[in-house]
Chain A
Amino acid sequence: MRLLLLNLTRKPLRTLLTIFGVGVALLLFCFLETVLNAFNAGVNMADASRLFVQHKESIIFELPMAYRQLIAQTEGVTGVATACWFGALSQEPGSDGKKREEFFAQFATDIEDYLRLYPEVQVPPDQLAELLSDQMGCLLGAKIAQRLGKRVGDRLVLRSTIWTQRDGSSIWEFNVRAIYTTDSPTFDQTMMLFPFKRFDEARQFGQGSVGLYMLSIDDPGRSGEISSVIDARFANSPYETRTMTEKAFNLQFVGMLGNFQLLLRSIGTAVVLTMIGTAVVLTMLLVSANTMMMSARERTREMGILKAIGFTDGHVFLLLIGEALVLSLLGALAGVGLAWLLANVLHFNPKPDFFPVFYLPQESILAAVGVAAVTGLVSGIVPAVTAMRLKATEALRSV
């Protein structure tokens, strides 16, 4: 092991450049993984024990509020919350003093029911009490609050692109009463929730109807069965339903936002990113393999010496493959470590409005280290096998 590590110090500049090369490649790999993960964030935050009920035709059609009681009575359903997509833009002045319209997700919902359905959402009790006692109140995710520069007690003005108030105005005002956080890395912290009651009373049209019902069920394994029961209950009624898992809903929701372009771009980008990722890994492999080949060729005579003093072919093989592996893993330590530091510790996010969730998942870290290990093994295999097969007498003759 000592010889293995000392061999890496033989040409420090070459070793450092190789580690740097592998490190940069893995940094890029991790960044691509983070972006891909961000694309899938909405899907990843979905929980198998939650179902969503919407109008059979489309989410843009509403369902009667009377369904709530019937859905709640369905066997296996443990909780129900109503929700309506609000679809508004912030009307806050930017740093330059001009009005800045920012898009983020807002839902009118039964706050308490919602929080029961999403135990991963954490709201300080005193803020929650304030929120529940103020019909004009709203609950902001920590990230969107930070982005908008809002604190508890501030006023928030939104312009809804869907809902007008009874007086015909599409400007809605809210009091920021609470800010939620979560320990779940996949949960979106850029949403706003506000009381459904206030929304229903103030809106100009659609009273008594809801956009969707969110349910919790006792057994995720029965989601299909429970969905069928609910949809069967409302079959042949004027408002037929379509019940689906949260994951299916989230996938559909991207498209239902009318943002097909985003969906297609996301898929296209994912494909391109995967191709870039493959190219990155191949480049890394070539850099590492080149270093190992050069390093091994320069030491042909030393392989002969080692064999002469009793090292077996297997020892020599392990020495060279070990060097390649250590070199790659040091690169991984540098590249993945930096990516982890940027994304998970310093919370670097190049497009916070586009990627509400932006972090490097544990699986991606493991994948990057795995890629580095495989690269090390593959790049070391040729020089290691060559050195292993080398006859000591021939190696000792080499200059």
Chain B
Amino acid sequence: MNAQPIIELRRVSKLYHKGDADIHPLDDLSLTIDRGDFVALMGPSGSGKTTLLNLVGGLDTPTAGEVLVCGQNLTELSARELARWRCDHVAFIFQAYNLLPVLTAYQNVELPLTLLPLTRQQRRAHVLTALDIVGLSDRLHHRPDELSGGQEQRVAIARALAADPELLLADEPTGDLDAHSAEEIMALLVTLNRQYGKTIIIVTHDPKVAAVAHRQLHLEKGVLTLDVDTLEKGA
């Protein structure tokens, strides 16, 4: 398989100052992830997983190095251009779902689409498709507090899918769910990867969750310590 890289990190470092201490969540990290991959990011707390996810999603900028995603060098973009780029190419799925409580499921999914040049009808078609994919066509007008945790996370996934991004970044998406709901969410993510060709990076502590990924990356103190291709291993 000779896939195109969708993500390329070139000697990326991130440095924070906390009081007098310097913290390096990422230290001279280089990494390539192919289009259509399903990657699990693992490692102990503070190892740099979320920082890596934020850099790849354009929410944060590196202290040194280059981050190329979907053919764009993110380090060259302004904050405004990054926001626009995020809207077009990437979507986040969070552990705490992060739906807006005042909006219904339909309105939450529609929210990122309001930033795109789409008509009302086009937006509606996108929203209905996304909610259909996650199996929540019958919960359009429910607000988050009227949904179960699993359903909320499905709405969050539908929101992530609505604008049809190439890359989905999930930060412990099953962390707040019971085992059954967690399995459903993982099954859904696998479908999105296999059936819809989405590239997915998932941050997790759970080996069961990581097991469904094609590739497992282990970070420790900002350094890549293990890179396992589970497809090859399985083969």
What is the interface of chain A, defined by CB distance below 8 A to chain B?
2-3, 6-7, 9-10, 301-302, 305-315, 391-393, 396
Contacts and interface: CB of A to CB of B under 8 A. Distances in A.
Contact of B83 (A3, A9, A310, A396): A310
A2 to B, nearest CB: 7
Given A309-B111, A309-B159, 17 more contacts: A6-B103, A307-B83, A308-B92, A308-B98, A309-B92, A309-B115, A310-B84, A310-B86, A310-B88, A310-B115, A310-B163, A312-B79, A313-B79, A392-B59, A393-B54, A396-B59, A396-B94
Nearest to A314: B80
Contacts of A305: 94, 98, 100
A314 B111 CA distance: 16
Contacts of A6: 102-103, 107
Contact of B86 (A10, A308, A314): A308
B60 interface: yes
Interface of B: 54, 57, 59-60, 79-80, 83-84, 86-88, 91-92, 94, 98, 100-103, 107, 111-112, 115, 159, 163
A6 B107 CA distance: 11
Contacts of A3: 100, 102-103, 111
A39 B102 CA distance: 49
Contacts of A307: 59, 83
Contacts of B107: 2, 6
Given A2-B107, A393-B59, A311 B83 contact: yes
A7 B86 CA distance: 24
Given A311-B83, A312-B84, A313-B79, A10 B101 contact: yes
Contact of A308 (B57, B84, B102, B115): B57
Contacts of B79: 312-313
Given A3-B111, A393-B59, A393-B60, A310 B87 contact: yes
Nearest to B160: A309
A301 B100 CA distance: 10
A-side interface mostly:
helix
9 contacts: A2-B107, A6-B102, A10-B101, A305-B100, A309-B112, A310-B112, A312-B79, A312-B84, A313-B80
B104 to A, nearest CB: 10
Contacts of B159: 309
A2 B110 CA distance: 11
A3 to B, nearest CB: 7
A3 B113 CA distance: 13
A217 B177 CA distance: 87
Nearest to B89: A310
Nearest to A307: B83
B115 to A, nearest CB: 5
Contacts of B60: 391-393
Contacts of A396: 59, 94, 98
Contacts of A313: 79-80, 83
A393 B92 CA distance: 12
Contacts of A309: 86-87, 91-92, 111-112, 115, 159
Contacts of B103: 3, 6
A308 B59 contact: yes
Contacts of B163: 310
Contacts of B112: 309-310
Nearest to B162: A309
A316 to B, nearest CB: 10
Give 5 closest A-B pairs by Cβ, nearest first.
A310-B87, A312-B83, A6-B102, A309-B112, A305-B98
